């Protein structure tokens, strides 16, 4: 092992607290140091190559190391690495990006973009702007947020409070008041119906019941991911989102789509909402916005929301902003990355290669005893692992089976994300059918080994 790798390992154990990891366990193990990346592959410090079926963290949509993006960052670095966009100052890349985002989201009638440094910022901005929207519109009592169980909206206090994964919030409670979660339309696990259409109706009705229960005059917005990502790639029934839009319209509630994962092609259309034919009032964007080259997030709003700031109210300003709002390097990277998304029709590729992958996974691995469900849309897929297929019993966190799958897949050369009891597949959107074949082969070999290792007597 080289000196740098040794230093990194030591630093990671001693000085670095990793996100979403237990420091005590991290200190026992050596970190896997990723040294470089290219296309759909990452390489560790020992030179071992892995197929990156995670796309980093659902974000490297144009593939690793794209020279067009690196060049755009370098050009901007030479001109202006940083300046604030507070007040009346701006820079070329952010102006270009704001125009580009509203053009890309023209189908959704998006009119204005506000920038932060990632998905959590985008969500926080959406929540604050929606409360301000109601104050400017003369309905100051509308402060409540409704969201979905299993939903994930980042880690700021707003996102944590509307988040629907209890293990991610319980240690940080009390969370913010006025945040409520309703059941998600999850076909594999729900107490209501096995029929997708019926489930869609029931779950949309749950939103209506919650709005009525809270009092419509108190509800600011409903927020959800078009396809739930970190909750386990939960794909709602086809009728769900249009029914949700109807319910929101009936009670005047704002509809916020958290497109941090689904934005820019991942689910097979430019935006996840577009895949369901629905127009939200606000969309939260990050990740694929510049494929992870430089941290960036954006919140875009439609005409209904924008026009509230035409008000004569003395506080009709955006009283919110980050030092790095409209960061020139991040925005330059986004302009280059989104040009690739358009030029190479990556949403189209995600749809085509994603459905090939889903079919192939179902054909190849669904018969394993521990595979409970395989689901997905575009290039976001999940394989839910269960300790008992009939009762759909999930593996407990820390079960040696899950660790075995992670270790063995890495030995095979596959980087796949274990999220609790679910394996997540979210590769770069430049993935090809050959990449899918390689992925499925490595996964099938991993599952064969797991089946022998954990064979029931």
Ligand X SMILES: Cc1ncc(COP(=O)(O)O)c(C=O)c1O
DSSP H helical ranges for 266-382: 272-275, 303-306, 328-343, 346-365
- 136 or 234: CB nearest ligand X: 234
The least distance separating ligand X from the CB of residue 82, rounded to whole angstroms, comes to 20
- Write out the DSSP string of 312-338: --TT-S-----TTTT-HHHHHHHHHHH
Cβ 290 vs Cβ 298: under 8 Å: no
The least distance separating ligand X from the CB of residue 228, rounded to whole angstroms, comes to 8
Q: Prior bond to 174 cis, omega within 30?
A: yes
Q: What secondary structure, in 3-state letters, does 222-248 show?
A: EEECCCECCCCCECCCCCHHHHHHHHH
- 42 or 284: CB nearest ligand X: 284
The least distance separating ligand X from the CB of residue 112, rounded to whole angstroms, comes to 20
Q: Where are the beta strands (DSSP E) in 94-187?
A: 110-116, 144-148, 179-182
The least distance separating ligand X from the CB of residue 42, rounded to whole angstroms, comes to 18
The least distance separating ligand X from the CB of residue 293, rounded to whole angstroms, comes to 13
- 202 or 270: CB nearest ligand X: 270
- 8 or 120: CB nearest ligand X: 120
Residue 69 token pair: 């993006």
- 135 or 169: CB nearest ligand X: 169
The least distance separating ligand X from the CB of residue 215, rounded to whole angstroms, comes to 28
- 133 or 152: CB nearest ligand X: 152
Residue nearest to ligand X (CB): 119
The least distance separating ligand X from the CB of residue 230, rounded to whole angstroms, comes to 5
Name the β-bridge partners of 371: 385
Q: What is the Cα Rg of the chain in Å?
A: 22
Q: Is 134 left (phi over 0), alpha (psi -120 to 50) or beta?
A: alpha
Give me the residues that bind ligand X (CB under 6 A), please. 118-120, 123, 152-154, 225, 229-230, 258, 260-261, 286
Residue 438's SS3 state is helix
- 223 or 340: CB nearest ligand X: 223
Using CA atoms, how far apart are residues 123 and 284, in angstroms rounded to an integer?
6
């Amino acid at each position: 092992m080289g000196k740098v790798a040794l230093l990194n390992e030591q630093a990671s154990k001693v000085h670095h607290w990793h996100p979403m990891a237990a420091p005590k366990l991290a200190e026992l193990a050596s970190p896997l140091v990723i040294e470089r990346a290219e296309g759909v592959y990452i390489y560790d410090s020992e030179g071992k190559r892995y197929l990156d079926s995670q796309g980093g963290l659902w974000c490297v949509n144009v593939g690793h190391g794209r020279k067009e993006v690196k060049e755009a960052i370098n050009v901007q670095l030479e001109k202006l690495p940083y300046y604030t966009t507070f007040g009346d100052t701006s820079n070329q890349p952010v102006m270009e990006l704001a125009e580009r985002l509203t053009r890309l989201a023209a189908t959704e009638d998006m009119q204005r973009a506000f920038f932060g440094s990632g998905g959590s910022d985008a969500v926080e901005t959406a929540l604050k702007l929606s409360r301000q929207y109601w104050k400017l519109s003369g309905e100051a009592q509308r402060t409540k947020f409704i969201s979905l169980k299993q939903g994930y909206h980042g880690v700021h206090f707003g996102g944590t409070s509307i988040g629907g994964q209890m293990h991610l919030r319980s240690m940080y409670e009390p969370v913010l008041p006025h945040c409520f979660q309703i059941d998600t339309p999850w076909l594999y696990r729900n107490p209501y119906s096995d029929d997708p259409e019926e489930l869609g109706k029931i779950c949309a009705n749950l939103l209506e019941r919650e709005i009525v229960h809270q009092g419509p005059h108190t509800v600011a917005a409903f927020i959800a991911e078009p396809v739930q990502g970190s909750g386990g790639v939960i794909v709602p029934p086809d009728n769900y989102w249009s029914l949700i839009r109807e319910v929101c319209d009936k009670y005047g509630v704002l509809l916020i789509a958290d497109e941090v994962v689904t934005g820019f092609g991942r689910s097979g259309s430019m935006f996840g909402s577009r895949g369901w034919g629905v127009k939200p009032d606000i969309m939260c964007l990050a990740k694929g916005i510049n494929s992870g080259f430089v941290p960036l997030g954006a919140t875009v709003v439609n005409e209904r929301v924008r026009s509230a700031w035409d008000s004569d109210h003395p506080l009709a300003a955006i009283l919110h902003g980050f030092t790095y709002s409209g960061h020139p390097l991040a925005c330059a990277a986004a302009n280059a990355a989104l040009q690739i998304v358009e030029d190479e029709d990556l949403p189209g590729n995600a749809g085509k290669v994603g459905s090939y992958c889903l079919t192939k996974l179902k054909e190849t691995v669904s018969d394993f005893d521990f595979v409970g469900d395989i689901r997905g849309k575009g290039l976001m897929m999940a394989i839910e692992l269960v300790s008992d297929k009939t009762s759909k019993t999930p593996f407990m966190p820390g079960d040696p089976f899950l660790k075995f799958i992670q270790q063995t897949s890495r030995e095979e050369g596959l980087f796949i994300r274990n999220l609790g009891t679910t394996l997540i597949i979210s590769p770069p959107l430049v993935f090809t059918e050959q990449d899918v074949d390689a992925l499925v082969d490595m996964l099938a070999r991993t599952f064969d080994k797991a089946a022998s290792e954990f064979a029931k007597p």
